[in-house]
Structure 1
Amino acid sequence: MAQWYLFLPQVRLGVDELTLRACTAEASGFDGVALLDHLRTPMAPASPVWEAMTLATWIAAKTQRLQIGHLVLCDAFRHSSVLAKQAVTLAEVSGGRFDLGLGSGSMPDELADFGFGTATGRERVAALQRTLEDLSRYWADQVPAPREPIPLLLGGRGPRMLELVRRHADWWNLPATHLDDLPRLMPQIGDARASVQQMVGFIGAGADAEAVIGKSRRRYAQLGSGLICARADELIDHFGRLGSQGVQRFYVWFSDPSPETIAEFAETVIARS
């Protein structure tokens, strides 16, 4: 059975509003929630963004069942020894509900502007490899150690990232902008399980389809095929096709992440899939 996560970028909304959406997802039947990790909002630098690990801890305290993670934590933002300690602590306080999602950093300008250097993509992947190797060592040396293994998620499509997925990851994530690559990449991820991050313009019961589609495309046109605007039955078919290709987890990113949208999607798509 597929796992359903709400992708909840912590931008533009207040902490209380984000918490409400996470709690709505839990009450409605989602399995988890995932945040992003940036020091300024991508493509909207004037919009506020909350720190990723702090907010994840807050949401863990406000929920009981949801798995909590990130798509994805930026490797450069935290020394691996500190990240190891943070991950163990968040796993402990959440009762084992923390997934560690890691990436090499997708916005070089952000890294440079905030003092994290000007490493090339190849250099950032090499640094991520060192972090992954260090985490196992720190978890063995630090006290306390994790009570249970902390699930590790990695993204990326390049050969070096896929090698890290095969060697280290429990989960591999593919953004829906690259769904055409799924059949080619699935055989390259080893024992990792596959997830997909999908932007959804959800056309709920009684909604004006043209209005939903128009608003979604105006806000997220840059995602191209990574945005699907559809009603519940069409979405059931869409996610079902991905499931038949081996995808075991869906990170649903709503163009309108209202509590009402989250609850109706869970009732009409998740419950019937």
Structure 2
Amino acid sequence: MVEWYLFLPQVGLGVEELTLRACTAETSNFDGVAFLDHLETPMAPASPIWEAMTLATWVAAKTERLRIGHLVLCDPFRHAAVLAKQAVTLAEVSGGRFELGLGSGSMPDELAKFGFGTATGRERVVALEQTLRDLKRYWGEADDAQVPRPSQPIPLLLGGRGPRMLELVRRYADWWNLPATHIDALPGLVPQIGNARVSVQQMVGFIGKNADADEVIGKARRRYGHFGSGLVCGRADELIDYFGGLHSQGAQRFYVWFSDPAPESIAEFGESVIGGFRAND
């Protein structure tokens, strides 16, 4: 069964506004919600952004069914021992609804600005692998294992598409996520990820039943046209067909990123697109 997550960057909205959108997703056929992880807003550092793990904990407390995660947590931001403890705690307090999404860090300038070093991309991937080994150790039976241990496995998602990242996906991940900017690469990358399940991040300009199509498409393309094929615009029937095509290429989960994340759009999308997709599946 295909899973549907709301990708909800915690930028430019208050905590209560973000919580409202997550709660709307929970009652509108979405399976989960995911946040991003930055210390300043990418390409807009003056725009406020909330801390990723704290917000995830808050939203977990305000929801009952929705799974909670990130696309993706930045490995350099957290010592592995601290991350291991945070993940177990959030998994337990949420009733097993937390999924650990990790990446090696995509913005070197941000890492340098806030004192996380100047490691190369290759060095950051090496460091991420060490974190993955450490997590396994802290959650296992090693002499320095932490208690409490996870009462059930915490799903691990890795994001990235380089050869070294895909090797980590094959060796460690339950899920692999392809960013919206590389949707066209999906068919060629799926055979390289081993047994990991496939998720896709997709920016959507959703044309609701009472919306003006030209207005929605124009606004979405002005803001997010640089995503290329990572942006898709359409009405419910068109989007059902589109996501069906990605599913046929191997996608098993969609992280839907709305160009206009109004609660009304989230609710209508859940009813018409997700509901329609499942009715046809």
TM-score, structure 1 length as denominator?
0.99
Residue 263 (structure 1) shift: 0.2
* Counterpart secondary structure, 1:185: helix
Q: Match of 2:137?
A: 137
Select which of 250, 253, 265 maps to 2:254.
250
Q: Match of 2:17?
A: 17
In 1, Cα distance between equivalents of 2:213 and 2:183: 24
**1:39 and 2:43 are equivalent in the alignment:** no
Stretches (4+) displaced over 2 A: none
| TM alignment of 1:1-273, pairs within 5 A | 1-140=1-140, 141-273=145-277
In 2, Cα distance between equivalents of 1:225 and 1:43: 20
**Structure 1 unaligned runs (5+)?**
none
Residue 37 (structure 1) shift: 0.1
* Equivalenced residues, count: 273
In 2, Cα distance between equivalents of 1:272 and 1:202: 14
Residue 221 (structure 1) shift: 2.2
- Amino acid of the residue matched to residue 176 of structure 1? A
Residue 223 (structure 1) shift: 1.2
Contact 2:184 2:229 in 1 (8 A): no
Residue 222 (structure 1) shift: 2.0
Contact 2:180 2:200 in 1 (8 A): yes
* Counterpart secondary structure, 2:68: strand
Q: What's the C-alpha RMSD, in Å, of the aligned pairs?
A: 0.6
Residue 176 (structure 1) shift: 2.7
Residue 86 (structure 1) shift: 0.1
Residue 156 (structure 1) shift: 1.0
* Counterpart secondary structure, 2:27: helix
- Amino acid of the residue matched to residue 273 of structure 2? V
